[in-house]
Structure 1
């Protein structure tokens, strides 16, 4: 269970600190600050729990690893359960903290949930959201698989992966709030409900498509993997 506990803690940290930056400090730090919060949280966890579980903290990454031939499906399922549980608990804790001021309400301020369309950030279309999430997750998974491959320089994977997540957020927050991670989307959506819940399917399906496509690319030998 060590690996599953690590994945729970890692996903909890990513969602609490990343979404927390948006909910609690978003007005002060802006999109750049939120982007750094997600990326730095991932870097910290990569070195903190990476030696234990590989620090997937993302169901799409686990399924991408299966597609690449680096993980068995049974283990991936146990990872995904731990990741989703960590994200849900993190969203609950974030809601408890944010509710400590009368200026906050879940209905008005949310929990850093993902979305698209009227009333959400740049009001991008569903198609734009779908394309962004698939492509961004594909590129993210390429960085993950490439930087953790046998021929990659040792010790730098966490930094490369975290910085990639920062850049993805800098580009995509205004489009979807950036998921590239079904667990990160599930946690907040469950408590916010409404539109966040009805749009959740895209943030489950699109990241999985992108990550699995990258995994298959590595498995085919089109890119150097393990």
Structure 2
């Protein structure tokens, strides 16, 4: 009887799981994205001058690594709409599930940005319009005054690399085991792009800080939604070209 119950439970998960299971994965995605923003953007805002580009890149990478171990068995730990798009394109999840993931990620990113803003506001003289909140930008809003073309290209390439790695290392292995290569890849793409546009590769990471920073961060936000998603598409198509699309999910975190 116990075996039959376990089989029925696994079948339910493959078909979308119970209501609680569906809500659990969305909550996990929101929490994970909030923690990624706090760990990465928060480090850049609160300690960036002290630890520099390498320290910020490691903060993002280590935070994601930890979240993969914690949330991987629950939701797959996408915590990034571009990654979710990759899972959708490779047929590891349905459009309805992907939409729920993205909504949860955006909410989580906003919550994380709110926490970072609350922390930064405690510093005497802090002015979000001057000091920013780790928002991304191009032109005058870029750390290196990079053009829109350069920023778009960097975001497409960096996000494509990240999504390709995520899909490759989670396609045949337990999600938690993928934490190290995924975390290292996120750190690497941050080393590549921080000096260009403060690195997005994740629309949910960009939306929250932009909403609180205001100004150019909001008017330029579309760039850090559109081009990371294009990068996610490119990475997913690259994965399909190399490995083929996934006809069946590998875990309960990847079901419809």
Asked whether the two chains share a fold, i.e. TM above 0.5, the reply is: yes
Counterpart in 2 of 1:87? 109
- Number of residue pairs the alignment of both structures matches: 224
Give the match's secondary structure for 1:200. coil
Residue deviations 1:76-133 (CA, integer Å, cap 9, x gap):
1001111000110111111111111213111111110011112531111110000000
Q: Which structure has the larger Rg? A: 2
Counterpart in 2 of 1:118? 140
Asked whether the equivalents of residues 9 and 86 of structure 1 are also in contact (C-alpha less than 8 Å), the reply is yes
Counterpart in 2 of 1:64? 86
Asked whether the equivalents of residues 141 and 214 of structure 1 are also in contact (C-alpha less than 8 Å), the reply is yes
Structure 2: runs of 5 or more not aligned: 1-22, 247-256
TM-score by length of 1: 0.95
Counterpart in 1 of 2:238? 217
Counterpart in 1 of 2:198? 177
Asked whether the equivalents of residues 130 and 202 of structure 1 are also in contact (C-alpha less than 8 Å), the reply is yes
Alpha-carbon spacing, 1:157–1:224, altered in 2? closer, same or farther (3 Å): farther
Residue deviations 1:152-190 (CA, integer Å, cap 9, x gap):
587531110000000101111000110000000000001
Equivalents in 2 of 1:86, 1:155: separation in Å?
21
Residue deviations 1:46-92 (CA, integer Å, cap 9, x gap):
00011000000001111111011111110010011110001101111
Alpha-carbon spacing, 1:203–1:119, altered in 2? closer, same or farther (3 Å): closer
Asked whether the equivalents of residues 186 and 200 of structure 1 are also in contact (C-alpha less than 8 Å), the reply is yes
TM superposition outliers: structure 1 runs of 4+ over 6 Å: none
Structure 1: runs of 5 or more not aligned: none
Give the match's secondary structure for 1:123. coil
Equivalents in 2 of 1:204, 1:48: separation in Å?
26
**Which stretch of structure 1 is more off in the superposition, 99-108 or 17-26?**
99-108
Q: Give yes or no for the alignment of 1:78 onto 2:103.
A: no
Asked whether the equivalents of residues 91 and 245 of structure 2 are also in contact (C-alpha less than 8 Å), the reply is no
**Which stretch of structure 1 is more off in the superposition, 49-58 or 206-215?**
206-215
Counterpart in 1 of 2:20? none
Give the match's secondary structure for 1:118. helix
